[in-house]
Amino acid sequence: MKKVLFAAAIMMAAGAKAQQVNYTISGVSKDNGAKVVVIDAQARKMENATVENGKFSISGSAEKNALLIIRNSSVSWMMPIINDGTPITVNLNDTTVTGSAQNERLVRYDIDMNAAYGKLGVKAGLEKIYTDEVNTMIPVAFVEQYLEEFGLEKLQKTMATKPVWANHPAVQSAIKEYEFEQADRAKKAAYIGKQFTDLEEPDTDGNMHKLSEYVGKGKWVLVDFWASWCAPCRAEMPNVVKAYEKYHDKGFDIVGLSFDNRKEPWVKAITDLKMPWTHLSDLKGWKTVASGLYEVNSIPDNLLIDPQGKIVARGLRAQGLQDKLKEIFGE
């Protein structure tokens, strides 16, 4: 989770005087009782409805061409649409949409680039969208993916041709966010190859410990920055536990440095998430000593430190963590 969030503020400022357009989104779902939510990130608001007798309907207003996200609370499923004023009918059972031609194509692209369906690879799909949809707002829904895959320079070359979506608030916001993240990554990458910097924090019993008690002592150590309140941290933790269980006996250890403010949820999360390694925290939230020493402004984050105390990698998550440890320890 990010300490500094540029996107929402920028989008709100950019679109403060834009025309408001009403929308109506209705549909069917087999999940009676489930919540269907429409999220307007530009205005930081949402509307919702409950599925009753297999049906739902949501009405509201948003800026013209605002990017809206339809989400079904009963599954991890989201659908992007553009608020172009055409009523939309959604079948949540098979993810089909009836509405404007623009939104029907948008949803089709989203489905076809999904790994579970595989009709289009992500890169091929993005290339097609940014080539074929210059006169629609469809590229707005995929700008963050495009930046991640191809970078800012290629996006700016495309924008130089003046497609209709180029000045959309969400595009401008995504660019600012990308620039911030790239600068942040560069700062963090600067730590790789350097010796770790020592710090001191209390454990769950209040006893003070230095990081140097565990790091640079002949083991590979993952210094894990996390917090009990951080949803992405909690989602990533089973992967970290898996790594610990697989490689601990081969010389791998973990030290968790929490960004919590309160002891009770911190200790509870350690138990609930089954994290058997060393845990330290000064319970100062973002003002924790670790944040300043290692420029941690978003979590989860981590440092992989070799047996001699040198930082060799940062921000290892998901399969990237497993692959790096496999490279070090083998199967």
Q: What is the pLDDT of residue 133?
A: 97
The residue among 269, 328, 276 whose CA lies nearest residue 300 is 269
Q: From residue 48, how far is each of 36, 69, 83, 159, 275 by CA, in Å?
A: 6, 11, 16, 35, 37
Half-sphere exposure of 94 (CA within 13 A, CB side): 3
CATH, range 192-327: 3.40.30.10
pLDDT in tens, 151-200: 999 999 999 999 999 999 999 999 999 998 888 888 888 899 999 999 99
Q: What is the pLDDT of residue 28?
A: 95
Query: String of b and e for 221-244 (b: at least 16 CB within 10 Å)?
Result: bbbbbbbbbbeebbebbebbbebb
- Cα–Cα distance between 55 and 42 in angstroms, integer? 27
Taken in order 302, 306, 307, 309, the sign of the CA dihedral is negative
Domain edges within the chain: 18-96, 116-184, 192-327
Return contacts of 231-234, CB within 8 angstroms, 24+ apart.
231/1, 232/1, 232/299, 232/300, 233/1, 233/299, 233/300, 234/269, 234/273
Residue type, 77: W
Please give the model's pTM, rounded to 2 decimal places: 0.64
Q: Are 37 and 71 in contact (CB under 8 A)?
A: yes
Return the beta strands (E) in the chain as ranges: 20-28, 35-40, 45-50, 55-63, 67-72, 77-82, 88-91, 96-98, 200-202, 208-210, 220-226, 252-258, 278-280, 301-305, 311-314
Residue 281 structure tokens? 């925290």
CATH, range 18-96: 2.60.40
Spacing of C-alpha 313 from chain mean position: 20
Q: What is the pLDDT of residue 18?
A: 72
pLDDT in tens, 217-252: 999 999 999 999 999 999 999 999 999 999 999 999
**Cβ-based neighbours of 86, under 8 Å, separated by 6 or more:** 99, 100, 103
Residue type, 21: V
Listed as ranges, residues in the chain with pLDDT below 70 are 1-17, 74-76, 115-119
